[in-house]
A and B are shown apart, each in its own frame.
Chain A
Amino acid sequence: MTTTVPAPAASRTSILTGNQAAAWGAFLARTQVVSAYPITPQTTIIETLADLYQRATWPSRFVNVESEHSAMAVCIGASITGTRVFTATSAQGLALMHELLHWAAGSRLPIVMVDVNRAMAPGWSIWTDQNDSLSQRDTGWAQVYCSTAQDVLDHVVMAFRLAETTNVPVMVVEDAFVLSHTAEAVEVPAQEVVDNFLPPRTPSFKLDVEKPAAFGGLLGPDWYQEVRQDLHDSMLRIGGLLPKAYADWARLTGRAYDVVETWHMDDARVALVTSGTVSQTAQEVVESDWARREKVGLVQIRLFRPFPAARLREVLGGVEKVAVIDRNCSYGHHGIFFQELKSALYGLPDARRPKAYGYVMGLGGRDVSVESIEDVLRRTVSRPAPEPETTWLGAVLPPGAPVKACACGEEVTR
């Protein structure tokens, strides 16, 4: 749970959107090279950065490129030459970067990126869901899902430490509009606080004319697997390093985080599992009289890669039922947090393994309200078994209504 107590060092409270908070995080980290391409709803991150970098007191470069693909390519080139780099994107832009996400992780470059969760086209949608970032699950990037603007700022700073300690790139994820464009009070730490937490980057390898080496060349079957295993092992290390970073950050700022946040889980019979801003709404739901009577607890998954499986088994073992809200879908299977969670819970003994109920909802920016979360919980409490395992909730169109995604000028009956 995020707690706001007076910070020990000088800092100031500002009213910032999630995107402004992201830009401040990158700026306070003294990022040396920023490269980005505009896309709604990421744009205000790079606009804020362009503005902040007018005041940078250290040598820096903002490279305005012609595509997200080139933005990541510039980040790769600048990172492998030893500098601290940052970029931000969303949806189509992230998908365009896909090849280079593999390249960044495979090159073991500590690049930090903010992805603003936006639904994928077609049809064009600028509103939030998680299919963009979750489609990049297997690229070798760590992923952290934020639920407040403060989260975003703090995690961008912490992401640099994780990335530079492990040589694994980190993606900090925030929801479109409900977080990216919603202003709230954010404590902006003093520069010296961030400097104390995050020393200048000291790369373990780089392009250096004094020490020539080739990077990224042909890697035969006798080498490739070991290199990838090292990426996997390094990614797993983040699972242990993040709590340590959280502890250090809490000491400096008074703000405490956990890879998995919990509310009312001590005596919970039913656990609601969420990520992103839905977690904020869910906190209100679990405080209701009904939820307290039914002993409903809340679990927010903050760290998605590496997946905190052991921690989730610890938190959820012995609970009767788990309801997972997914603002995404792996078409033909389930919501992605649901399937990941089920895979983690499989390791529990039968007697302690909860029944798992999946709910896909809130796609393309459809609101996930207090009422719709209550609906999730009622359906979970009332159904003795998760059949079907996944339920799609919140559809507006009546059954049988035309849903083909073509605009033909005819009114769709709702």
Chain B
Amino acid sequence: MSGPMDALSHEEILRAGHLACPGCGVTPAYRWALKVLGRRTIVTAPACCFAVIDGAFPYSASSVPFLHAAFEAAPAYASGVRAALDVTGQHDVNVLVWAGDGGTFDIGLQSLSAAAERNEDMIYVCYDNEAYMNTGIQRSSATPRGAWTMTTPAKDGKREPKKHLGEIMAAHRIPYFATVSISHPEDFVRKLETAKSMRGFRLLHYFCPCPTGWKADSRHMAELGRLAVETGVFPLYEVFDGVRTVVNVAPAWTPMKEYLKLQGRFAQVTPPEVEAMEREARAEWARLERRARAEAEAEPAAAPR
């Protein structure tokens, strides 16, 4: 039996010699993404871990053109690249934005919103390691409630919940939004193929465990991805045109503590807080399921698959 991973190109566009930490969650995703998109792709990355991972001048680990962008402006840089490709007839070249959570949820949200509103023809992958890891683990609006970071050092960690990128992007009615995780490569590849087959603004939100910032063992990265999906912390779903939600993997409701105990950043979380996290995950899941069901009932014919 063969799956989407077997059909992947054997060509390695991410070469050896990149500068990622051992166990880093981002490199498998970048490798898979470029295997799907191929050499006729231009990458734009804002300031983020990957801006370092790709290599310092005069080296680059990517076998495709790579444009470094100002922190807050990668979607606008990419819009310029797209415009230039289009006016020079290079419509077949993919424009891929590769950005961290800081450059997506925080400082880059304005230019991201604008590029989404213009429905710019590009694929945006946000690799979300839930804090500013490149600068040494500071909180972002993608950091979950309860997590320790260097700027949320109090005993209860970050107090505010994670910003909901999926709802923000759905509100822009972009052609395609999907969540993906390091633990589900087949799902990742299928969704990237789906994105590749469409035009307009497409965004993949990638759950990207970080051994350094999460105080986790580098051998647990895929495991952490799986537990995030199973506990409902990071549900896997797709949203078409902002209005048709499809849930891909139902949580197994593995106890939250199984996910938390592998990460030093949650060491200070108390049992009542763990219960609160479970309630939050179930409530979010219920909202997601309700939305998917209501949308399917409203427009049954339009529901994909």
A residues whose Cβ falls under 8 Å from a Cβ of B: 32-33, 35, 59-61, 63-67, 69-71, 73-83, 85, 99-100, 103, 207-209, 211-220, 223
Say yes or no: A33 contacts B83, CB within 8 Å.
yes
A356 to B72, CA, bound (A): 44
Say yes or no: A66 contacts B113, CB within 8 Å.
yes
Please give, as numbers and ranges, the residues of chain A lying within 8 Å of B90 by CB-CB distance: 209
Secondary structure call for the B interface: mixed
Shortest Cβ distance from A227 into B: residue: B57
Please give, as numbers and ranges, the residues of chain A lying within 8 Å of B60 by CB-CB distance: 212-214, 217
Q: How many A-B residue pairs have CB under 8 A?
A: 159
Given A61-B86, A65-B76, A207-B67, residue A219 in contact with residue B62 (CB < 8 A): no
Say yes or no: A73 contacts B77, CB within 8 Å.
yes
B residues whose Cβ falls under 8 Å from a Cβ of A: 39-42, 44, 51-52, 54-58, 60, 62-70, 72-73, 76-90, 93, 110-111, 113-114, 117-118
Question: Of residues A32, A35, A80, which shows the largest number of chain B Cβ atoms within 10 Å of its Cβ?
Answer: A80
Shortest Cβ distance from A220 into B: residue: B56
Query: Which 8 pairs across A and B sit closest by C-beta, in order of nearness?
Result: A77-B80, A81-B84, A216-B68, A73-B76, A214-B60, A66-B114, A78-B80, A70-B76
Shortest Cβ distance from A67 into B: residue: B110
A409 to B186, CA, bound (A): 67
Given A69-B76, A70-B111, A209-B42, residue A59 in contact with residue B89 (CB < 8 A): yes
Please give, as numbers and ranges, the residues of chain B lying within 8 Å of A61 by CB-CB distance: 83, 86-87
The residue that B83 contacts in the complex, of A74, A103, A216, A223, with Cβ under 8 A, is A74
Question: Can you name 18 A-B pairs with beta carbons within 8 Å?
Answer: A35-B79, A59-B87, A70-B76, A70-B79, A73-B69, A73-B70, A73-B77, A76-B69, A77-B81, A78-B81, A103-B70, A209-B65, A209-B90, A212-B62, A214-B60, A214-B68, A216-B68, A218-B51
The residue that B87 contacts in the complex, of A77, A83, A214, A217, with Cβ under 8 A, is A83
Say yes or no: B78 contacts A77, CB within 8 Å.
yes
Say yes or no: B42 contacts A74, CB within 8 Å.
no
Given A214-B68, A219-B56, residue A77 in contact with residue B77 (CB < 8 A): yes
Say yes or no: B88 contacts A77, CB within 8 Å.
no
Shortest Cβ distance from A60 into B: residue: B87
Shortest Cβ distance from B38 into A: residue: A209
A60 to B84, CA, bound (A): 8
Given A61-B86, A212-B65, A214-B55, residue A74 in contact with residue B110 (CB < 8 A): no
A208 to B82, CA, bound (A): 12
A77 to B54, CA, bound (A): 19
Say yes or no: B80 contacts A79, CB within 8 Å.
yes
Say yes or no: A33 contacts B87, CB within 8 Å.
yes
Say yes or no: A208 contacts B113, CB within 8 Å.
no
Question: Of residues B63, B73, B90, B117, which shows the largest number of chain A Cβ atoms within 10 Å of its Cβ?
Answer: B73
A83 to B87, CA, bound (A): 8
Say yes or no: B66 contacts A209, CB within 8 Å.
no
Task: Report A100 CB to chain B, min CB distance, Å.
Answer: 6
A216 to B85, CA, bound (A): 19
Question: Of residues B82, B89, B113, which shows the largest number of chain A Cβ atoms within 10 Å of its Cβ?
Answer: B82
Please give, as numbers and ranges, the residues of chain A lying within 8 Å of B113 by CB-CB distance: 66
A74 to B110, CA, bound (A): 14
Say yes or no: A217 contacts B64, CB within 8 Å.
no
A34 to B76, CA, bound (A): 13
Shortest Cβ distance from A70 into B: residue: B76
